[in-house]
Structure 1
Amino acid sequence: MGRLVAMEVFVRVIETGTFSGAARQLRIGQPAVSKIIAQLEERLGVHLLLRSNRGLTPTLAGQNFYERAKRVVEDANEAELVARGTGTALSGRLRVCATVSFARLHIIPHLPAFLAEHPELDIEVVMDDRAVDLVEEGIDIALRMGPLSDSTLTARKIGQCKRLVLGTPAYFSRAGIPLTPADLVTHQAIVLAQPALTSVWNFKQGTTETSVTAQGRVRVTAGEGVRAAVLADIGLSVTSEWLFATELKEGIVVPVLQDWELAPLDLWSIFPTGRRATAKARVFAAFVDELVSNGKIITTQSAR
């Protein structure tokens, strides 16, 4: 049994969660998978998997081995792609991370075209508003918005989007329309409470700059919460066009204070630090670039 074969079998077992799932993907019998894993554990001298009625769970040694084996398998696949040429089909699994709202509104609806173009490729979309550790979570590519707090990240700017003060007509009918940023202190603000963000909103008009500290009774920890609270007529919020693209077009929410500017929100492709981006990750990044260039993801400025 070759080391690379054993690594690939183990990686498929972890990613599918079962011996039978790995066997189907690899097109071999389940007994062969079981035998390879047993031989691998014997050669390494450690237990890699815990078996129970609920399925397979990697041990600490198994999780550490998986993370490194996955990189080795990806590098081997990458080498084959380079040798065979760019026409070779991508295969295996691609793990993409994005915020819940951005993935739901702007990525998942376009996946059918990407999947049709790459029929041998499986995609796992990790929807999380946190800045997850890409290496620890096994993420191939992440799409993040706003300033990057970690300067060591391998990142590429894709585009940027307007930030707006917006709310529903029902809310403004009840609370009044703010005419200046200072008026916002009398309004119920929906605040996105995350470690990298503040509740201070900075506005600019020509050479004039002013700041307002958002005040409100509702704070949420994810963009979906901002959407839900605004659409429930609870208050207004400073947020991106991305979060309310459809509702803005349909007049379900309306922008105010449009003669004042807010700093735009940047969109980035992020790759695991210390590793060369895989072919799958690069192709997906190009796919998102194309969505931006074709106007399928609204931006004020493409990175191209």
Structure 2
Amino acid sequence: MDRIHQMQVLVAVAEEGGFSSAARRLSLSGPAITRAISSLEEDLNVQLFKRTTRQVRITEAGARYLEDVKRILSDITDAEETISGTAAAPKGHLVVTAPAMFGRLHVMPGIATFLKKFPDMTVDALLLDRIVDMLEEGVDVGVRIGRLPDSSIRARKVAEVRTVLVGSPDYLVAKGIPRSPKDLANHALIAARTGNFSPAWRFSAENREISVKVRPRLTATSNDAVIEAAVNGLGITRALSYQVGPAVADGRLKVVLEEWELPPIPVHIIHREDRTVPVKVRAFIDCLYDSLKNALD
């Protein structure tokens, strides 16, 4: 049986989560899908899917093989596009992830530009305030703010952001401007219970870090909420510079303790470590890089 056909069936079953839905996607009969997977498993001498009457789940070995299969099929597509002269017009689907607020403010405009430029592309945007496992969740491209300990990804640095403390001008006039982190004990503090929530705020002084325990008067589960609270004069909050950039620019918030800021945090565009990068991924990364540079420089 044609191995490329078997690979295409494998991808369809894995992505659709079942044989019947894969058959509809590929316009094939159910028995044809079953024969293709059974033949592939026999050739490889490995079980690719666990089948029950209620669900079909890919095995660990199948998941590893699936990644190689996707790369091979992508290589074939890229080769065909190159020889036919259509490589400049990527088509297909991408899954993109980014932190929620950063994605809304800065990644979505890049996605919009990309989709307008390439009408044969579709994008699924996962805007989440957690670290996404790109392999497990099928993500093609991501934006990550912070250090990159994972060696299984490729990264392109696009910018840096700062960790800043801000308060409204009215609040700072009423309560005074803190001159050192210890002064925060005399202020109402606002904290976001997001992924990096901590009862201590870190600062940098004379090339060393110090940590100050804080007792927030208000906590909230989103960065948008704590920033809005600070704008309304409820106290001082800590955020990343891009999150409060508009409010600082128009005077609704003022940055304090700038001389105590931690070193800047890198922003990277990341994708999985494959031997080749699909045309659609390269095109999207280039488009997003230009969009982010213009927004964050």
Q: Same fold (TM over 0.5)?
A: yes
Report SS of the residue matched to 1:137: coil
Change (3 A) 1:6 1:208: closer
Q: 1:215 is matched with which residue?
A: 214
- Indicate conservation of the 8 Å contact 1:93/1:122, yes or no: yes
Which structure 2 residues correspond to residues 196-275 of structure 1 after superposition, within 5 A?
A: 199-204=200-205, 211-217=210-216, 225-233=222-230, 235-258=235-258, 260-273=260-273, 275=275
Q: Taking structure 2 as the reference length, what is the TM-score of the superposition? A: 0.77
Q: How many residues align?
A: 286
Distance 1:286 1:15 in 2: 27
Q: 1:58 is matched with which residue?
A: 57
- Displacement of 1:112 in angstroms is 2.3
Amino acid at match of 2:8: E
Q: 1:105 is matched with which residue?
A: 105
- Displacement of 1:271 in angstroms is 2.2
Q: 1:73 is matched with which residue?
A: 73
Is 2:191 the counterpart of 1:190? yes
Which structure 2 residues correspond to residues 56-205 of structure 1 after superposition, within 5 A?
A: 57-60=56-59, 63=63, 66-85=66-85, 87-151=87-151, 153-169=153-169, 172=172, 175-187=175-187, 188-190=189-191, 194=195, 199-204=200-205
Matching residue within 37, 40, 65 for 2:36: 40
Change (3 A) 1:123 1:20: farther
Q: 2:3 is matched with which residue?
A: 3
- Displacement of 1:114 in angstroms is 0.8
- Indicate conservation of the 8 Å contact 1:9/1:33, yes or no: no
Report SS of the residue matched to 1:271: strand
Report SS of the residue matched to 2:125: strand
Change (3 A) 1:70 1:219: farther
- Give the greater-gyration-radius structure (CA): 2
Superposed CA deviations along residues 201-234 of structure 1, whole A, max 9, x for unmatched, are: 2235xx68663425133667xxx72331231345
Amino acid at match of 2:264: P
Distance 1:22 1:246 in 2: 47
Identical-pair percentage: 27
Structure 2, gaps ≥5 residues long: none
Structure 1, gaps ≥5 residues long: 300-304
- Indicate conservation of the 8 Å contact 1:171/1:235, yes or no: yes
- Displacement of 1:182 in angstroms is 2.9
Amino acid at match of 1:298: L
- Displacement of 1:52 in angstroms is 7.4
My pick for the range that moved more, 239-248 or 83-92, is 83-92
Amino acid at match of 1:231: E
Change (3 A) 1:172 1:195: closer
Change (3 A) 1:10 1:150: closer
- Displacement of 1:179 in angstroms is 2.9
Matching residue within 295, 298, 302 for 2:296: 298
Q: Taking structure 1 as the reference length, what is the TM-score of the superposition? A: 0.75
- Displacement of 1:41 in angstroms is 2.7
